[in-house]
Homo-oligomer: A and B are copies of this chain.
Amino acid sequence: MTARIYITPKPDILDPQGKAVASALHDLGYQEVSEVRIGRFVTMELKGSGSPENRQRIEEMCRRLLANINVETFKIEISET
């Protein structure tokens, strides 16, 4: 199966990288951009099915290694291919 994991800074956490990109986009003439937030997008190939147990293990990986749950949130999407 494939797991897609979206990790984003929490809404109330400052995102200096996003601010820098927004400012660079303004400098390039894209005035329509009001806010940018930059997170990570992890694609993972795994053995096994998308069972609740396997899904729980992926959540555990996120909490233990992939995301910093103090300042980031994550969302997991699983497709069985």
Binding site for B on A (CB under 8 A): 6-8, 18, 21, 24-25, 28, 30, 32-48, 54, 57, 61, 64-66
Q: How far is the CA of A63 from the CA of B61 in the complex (A)?
A: 32
List, in ascending order, chain B residues with CB within 8 A of A18's CB.
Answer: 42
25 contacts between A and B (CB under 8 A): A6-B41, A7-B41, A8-B41, A8-B43, A21-B42, A21-B65, A21-B66, A24-B65, A25-B61, A28-B65, A30-B57, A32-B54, A32-B57, A33-B45, A33-B46, A33-B61, A34-B46, A35-B44, A35-B45, A36-B43, A36-B44, A37-B44, A38-B40, A39-B42, A41-B41
List, in ascending order, chain B residues with CB within 8 A of A25's CB.
Answer: 61, 65
